Amino acid sequence: MPHRPDLVVFDVNETLSDLSALAGRFAEVGAPSHLAATWFAALLRDGFALTVAGANPAFAEVGTGVLRGLLASHLPGQDLDAAVAAVMAGFGELGVHPDVVPGVRALRRGGHRLVTLTNGAAAVPDGLLTRAGIRDEFERLMSVADAGAWKPARAAYEFAARQCGVAIGDTLLVAVHPWDVHGAKAAGMPAAWISRDAATYPAHFAAPDVVATGVDDLAAQLAAG
Amino acid sequence: MPHRPDLVVFDVNETLSDLSALAGRFAEVGAPSHLAATWFAALLRDGFALTVAGANPAFAEVGTGVLRGLLASHLPGQDLDAAVAAVMAGFGELGVHPDVVPGVRALRRGGHRLVTLTNGAAAVPDGLLTRAGIRDEFERLMSVADAGAWKPARAAYEFAARQCGVAIGDTLLVAVHPWDVHGAKAAGMPAAWISRDAATYPAHFAAPDVVATGVDDLAAQLAAG
């Protein structure tokens, strides 16, 4: 457990939002629901590849491009524009995981400053947290669009700490994705891994400082010191 | 079409080797065969993430780690070591696509120097090309393990050109993966995209200089000038 963080930096997609509803969107347009997992992995693969090659692409643009390619091979002869739009619209209507609202409120009661940092657009957590009734608990919603590079690039984590006027070692990244935990750690930012489904943490990534089963459990662990 | 390349730099996984046999390996260990696509996308996602964060991991190590995580959630209570080993062993027994042997022989008849550059170990193309009877057509098998960074990092393409004593603009990368084409182009290396299944090239990546339906078609296009 790192010392008490001044600033808790939440990842958004899958960490706060429940992406499982997206599988249903694939089924609704006539594609196999298991494509959702391949799509999200391929979206990040392509976004990271662009980052490696020096670009800082828009998340929705990469998501749309990868989705179009996947659906083209599964829905020959269909209206791809409509299918792509139907799945992408799902991103704007997601809910939060059940542990998020009580966890966020407990962290605020504990006096922690809360912000988000996403590889997507800042409008996504704005809508997500507003629908969940906890938008006002967050003082800032940040996007890597303003940081110069996607997470897990060092620049993204440094940007978040700098924007909030906090030394990077006094923050705590909270993410469900091991690659995000790894990037934070490599940048000098302590990190908590949210493991909702008792997943195994991959040995090829730097280990988290905290492992929690949800945001509520994280709040309890931070309160216990 | 770029001017005649002095050196043709082949990607290996999926560009030369036919990965479709790996889906059967998943089925053999009791997992859904569609997991193969998610696995390969997630393997590259994690490898690129590590590259973004400054590491240069071993391909097989990342592949094993991602595979273990995926299989754990699909094969609860089973012997994961055996299942992981069974799938990973498939990598060492792949064959080449039908267009590869005639295409490689035609390129050699045309006087092109041929090499490979893989994010994996150089032993993989060595076995693959030996089994296909075309190992001797390649003068060098390179791995990013010696380049300092995975493709699509600029350093990987520069390494390949430098090792072969050729100006990067006088080479041609050949790859089935758009992210590889993009990385090469960003590094100043012309690139050919192999599109065996009439896939759509994603708009978020730099466009290839040549599009070919297979290595045989590429050889014909280069011969036609």
Confidence (pLDDT) at A1: 60
> How deeply is A163 buried, as exposed, middle or buried, from its count of CB atoms within 10 A (0-12, 13-18, 19+)?
middle
Cβ contact, residue pair B65, A153, below 8 Å: no
Could you tell me if A129 and A87 lie in one domain?
A: no
Which residues on chain B are in Cβ contact (under 8 Å) with A149? 52
| Among candidate residues A128, A28, A43, A32, the one with its CA nearest the CA of residue A85 | A28
Q: How far is CA B167 from CA B160, B170, B172, B187, in A?
A: 10, 5, 11, 12
- Asked whether the beta carbons of A115 and A141 are under 8 A apart, the reply is yes
Confidence (pLDDT) at A141: 98
Establish if A2 belongs to a structural domain: no
Could you tell me if A60 and A167 lie in one domain?
A: no
Closest partner residue to B53 (CB to CB) among A42, A65, A152 is A152
Confidence (pLDDT) at A77: 84
Q: Which domain holds residue B66?
A: 20-91
Domain boundary among B65, B91, B117: B91
Cβ contact, residue pair A54, B186, below 8 Å: yes
Could you tell me if A14 and A25 lie in one domain?
A: no
Could you tell me if A120 and A188 lie in one domain?
A: yes
Which residues on chain A are in Cβ contact (under 8 Å) with B37? 38
* A7-10 vs A210-212, strand pairing mode: unpaired
Establish if B46 belongs to a structural domain: yes
Cβ contact, residue pair B45, A45, below 8 Å: yes
Establish if A1 belongs to a structural domain: no
CATH number, domain at B182? 3.40.50.1000
Could you tell me if B171 and B141 lie in one domain?
A: yes
pLDDT tens by residue, B5-62: 999 999 999 999 999 999 999 999 999 999 999 999 999 999 999 999 999 999 999 9
Q: What is the ipTM of this complex?
A: 0.95
Looking at the structure of chain A, the number of domains it has is: 2
Cβ contact, residue pair A179, B46, below 8 Å: yes
Could you tell me if B50 and B113 lie in one domain?
A: no
The pLDDT of A135-164, averaged and rounded, is 98
Confidence (pLDDT) at B1: 60
Q: In chain A, where do the E strands start and end?
A: 7-10, 113-118, 140-143, 171-175, 191-194, 210-212
Cβ contact, residue pair B49, A152, below 8 Å: yes
- Asked whether the beta carbons of A26 and A35 are under 8 A apart, the reply is yes
Q: Residues B124, B181, B53, CA angle at the centre, nearest 5°?
A: 75
Confidence (pLDDT) at B2: 61
pLDDT tens by residue, B31-47: 999 999 999 999 999 99
pTM above threshold 0.90: yes
Cβ contact, residue pair A52, B153, below 8 Å: yes
Domain boundary among A64, A91, A118: A91
Residue of B nearest to A60 (CA): B204
Closest partner residue to A38 (CB to CB) among B38, B69, B72 is B38
Closest partner residue to B204 (CB to CB) among A62, A182, A186 is A62
